[in-house]
A and B are shown apart, each in its own frame.
Chain A
Amino acid sequence: MRKLLVIALVAASLTACRGGETTTDAGGIKTDVGVTKEPCPQAIDQAKGCIYLGIISDLTEGPFKALAVPITEAQKAFWKRVNEAGGIGGYEIDVTKFVKDNKYNPQTHKEVWDQIKGQVLALAQTLGSPTTAAIMSDLKSGNVVAVPASWTSQWAFDDVIIESGANYCIESMNSLDYAVEKYKSKSVLAVHYAGDYGDDAAAGVKFAAEKLGLTFSHLKTDAGADKQAGAIAEIVGKKPDLVILTTGPTETATIVGQAAARGYTGRFIGTSPTWNPALLQSAAAPALLALYEQSAPWNSWTTNTPGHEALRKALTGVTALSEGYTAGWVWSYPLKAALQKATANKDLTRAGLLAAVKSLDSVDYEGMLPTGAGNFKAGATGQVKVTAIYKPDKAGVTGVSLVKDLFVGPTAQAYTLDSACFNKL
């Protein structure tokens, strides 16, 4: 008798663990994990079912909190708009129930993922590379599609990650093309964080510098305004024509402000995470206005495209604007396209969604990125390579104004991405 009980218990718990049986709904769409017939918690139409998407982001005390929070808000607004427009294939999408804080720690990331993985179809955001790497094997073995919140070139080589915009590597190549054309720069110094953010950009700079015949050097620096003394000394000492920055906003202000104060007169170009509109109130503002420009993988908040207009409408009333909102919004389009394709294929299982991603040859970004962007079918060769250049401007809503619209430089155009750039630095 007792034996029987044990066996029953074991059997029951084993099935309880696995879950996620494939079922077919009334519309003939196959579903498994994270899709329910019951409406979403905040459903607009109670008759529709619900697709649950998870968000794992840096929401309280990690280093990317200032970007992560706007990204998350923009994504909520994005999916709310999708729901208001009638949802996808008889379902609405929920991105509010499974929002988790990773504190930018791989272990925490893994723990919260374990907690939600039985309940979500895909990840609407997984922030950070080391953190995402901790769950990558799980994502791959479970066919879970995930939207990243960074622009590293590694994502081009992971099928389950659906990235948008040019990666840091390509972006710095474009920056260099731009600087050589406009400022006739002869030497370049890359000041960068360690890791796939900074190293990726520095590798792009290195490649472009070799191509364009500039003298190249690079210097690793750390997060924290007080830790930039070495970088400043290097810039002031070497006096390169151009400095490419891949740091955070406070570090940018410190480096640009103090290098300028100590007599440096060359140019700075920073990737998009180096900028924050509030820097215009800082003591470094005059130096930033004079010497700094920002590269960006897509156009800023104020641009006139249907996508940007929808973004502004969805987020009216937001004070303290930052480009994090734009980023969160743009990043969400590929997942929307994939969900639409999967429902059209009548297969909304995880495997079905991944298959839909792999068959996407373009994504409708509503004009925010050029047509043809989002070619996941082509893998690494389908990468979008456009970059825009902005400069600080007190009149701009997000503190910047456009210098050069989206372009692909000759160096990036000719470059074939064959493995993650940061490995080549």
Chain B
Amino acid sequence: MRGRPLLYTSYRADMALLNTPAKRVSLGLLVLLGLALPFLLQDSTLNLLAMGCVAAIGAIGLGLVTGYAGQVSLGHAFFFGIGAYTSALVSGETGVRTMGLGVPNLLVWLPAAGLVALLFGVLVAPLATRLRGLYLAIVTLGLVFIGQHVFGEWGSLTGGTGVGRAPARLELFGYDVAATDSMGTREQKSFWLMFSLLIVFALAARNLARSKVGRAFTAIRDRDIAAGVIGVNLSRYKTIAFAVSSFYAGCAGALLYPLVGFIEPGTFSLLLSVQYIAMVLIGGAGTISGAIAGAFFITLLPSLTRGLQPLVPFISTSPTELPNIFQVETILYGVLVIGFLIFEPRGLFGIWIRVRTYWKTWPFSY
């Protein structure tokens, strides 16, 4: 079949995880790039990219429930918080204000965080499967508010509002990833760790999406009644979608805060949920690579707008004057999100499709 890369001779080949040579090559290149980046970039940028990797894991999870199964959830921040606190609880020591179980191994607290979040996802699912569209969105938003109240009040777990607690420790069988040593600096090693985890989570999600479950998801998204009629068990698959998505959110929550350095209960707010929805929509709903691209876009956008400071010299840097650079920075964030969605509603993935089509048909493109 050499030379005819898009000819599939079996269903199996068509549905393969990486079904085109281009995908295989680009994945390989990406992995190489990811491994090499820590040598090429500043530590601060690396930390940001590591956060991007973690955000991507969260966005993939939301992408599964929102992009694939079509159930818009604004409750991601709640599951995020559950993951963050479970991991901190498992990994931390009991201190003056907060309790901990003292098991710092990442291979223990990461699955624990994911599973507890998954459990909550399953608990919420019976309510969620009854609702659709905006009703579902706002009900899941209710979870976020109730969650914030509980997180704020439960001082022995979270440290309480405004105080917070230390996050989980990035430790593998006694080896501290978050410490600079001969292997590399803290940022280099945490980037490698997060990058490899992202690859694992992304491949797992893509594998799920191409399976029977994934097809059921898309059927529900495209027309849930039709899906029900042809034999897709709606409540079962919606529950699975919520469970998997919560698992991803829990893991992302557990991984993000070791990079941030601190967990404050106020963090798990509507704003966080919205950021993740924005990641999925900007990346392109219903694709794994889109969710990843969107996650990096939203994570890097604030530092990008901050970086514009020297380019607009006529705007004041004094916070008392109007307009000042800090306002412009924040507004720009809003405006970029708006502009992006207006001009490319299919998101980053849509841009990629356009570029690809252009070159595929070159020189006969129009």
Contacts and interface: CB of A to CB of B under 8 A. Distances in A.
B326 interface: yes
A133 interface: yes
A115 B162 contact: no
Given A9-B40, A60-B326, A106-B267, A72 B319 contact: yes
A111 interface: yes
B40 A199 contact: no
Contacts of B185: 17
Contact of A194 (B162, B263, B318): B162
B162 A60 contact: no
A136 B260 CA distance: 11
How many A residues are at the interface, by size bracket?
Answer: 35 or more
Interface string A106-149: 11101110110110000000000110011111100000000000
Contacts of B264: 106, 130, 133
Given A13-B39, A60-B330, A100-B306, A129 B163 contact: yes
B303 interface: yes
A59 B326 CA distance: 7
Given A9-B39, A114-B48, A130 B261 contact: no
Contact of A99 (B39, B40, B44, B317): B317
Contact of A130 (B262, B306, B330): B262
A106 B264 CA distance: 8
B257 to A, nearest CB: 9
B162 A17 contact: no
Interface string B147-162: 0000010000000111
> Which among A138, A197, A199 has the highest number of chain B CB atoms within 10 Å?
A199
A108 B163 contact: no
Given A110-B261, A197-B162, A101 B318 contact: no
B326 A101 contact: yes
A193 interface: yes
A60 B44 contact: no
Contacts of B48: 111, 114
A16 interface: yes
B42 A106 contact: no
B327 interface: yes
A419 interface: yes
A29 to B, nearest CB: 27
A17 B43 contact: yes
Contacts of A16: 42
A96 interface: yes
A194 B265 CA distance: 11
B320 interface: yes
A417 interface: no
Interface string A14-36: 10110000000000000000000
Interface in B182-202: 185
B302 A111 contact: yes
A68 B42 CA distance: 30
From A72, A108, A111, A199, name the one whose CB has the most chain B CB atoms within 10 angstroms.
Answer: A111
Contacts of B327: 60
A105 interface: yes
B164 interface: yes
A130 B260 contact: no
A309 interface: no
A87 interface: no
B41 interface: yes
A195 interface: yes
A390 interface: no
A229 B243 CA distance: 38
A112 B305 CA distance: 12
A422 B260 contact: no
B354 interface: no
B163 A138 contact: no
Contacts of B41: 13
Given A73-B318, A110-B261, A111-B48, A14 B162 contact: no
B311 interface: no
Interface in B27-57: 39-44, 47-48, 51
B302 A108 contact: yes
B261 A135 contact: yes
A134 B330 contact: no
A419 B44 CA distance: 33
Contacts of A129: 162-163
Q: Kindly name the residue among B40, B163, B261 whose own CB sees the greatest number of chain A CB atoms within 10 A.
A: B163
Contacts of A374: none
B94 to A, nearest CB: 13
Interface string B258-294: 0111111011000000000000000000000000000
A165 interface: no
B168 to A, nearest CB: 14
B332 to A, nearest CB: 12
Contacts of A138: 261
A99 B264 CA distance: 23
A199 B161 CA distance: 10
B96 A419 contact: yes
Which 5 pairs of residues, A with B, have the shortest CB-CB distance? A195-B162, A114-B44, A194-B161, A130-B264, A134-B262
Interface of B: 39-44, 47-48, 51, 96-97, 152, 160-164, 185, 259-264, 266-267, 302-303, 306, 317-320, 324, 326-327, 329-330
24 contacts: A17-B43, A57-B319, A69-B319, A72-B319, A76-B318, A99-B317, A101-B326, A107-B267, A110-B47, A110-B259, A110-B261, A111-B51, A112-B306, A115-B44, A129-B163, A130-B164, A133-B261, A133-B262, A134-B262, A136-B261, A136-B262, A193-B162, A197-B162, A199-B162
Given A17-B42, A69-B319, A69-B320, 7 more contacts: A61-B330, A103-B330, A106-B263, A107-B260, A110-B260, A130-B164, A193-B161
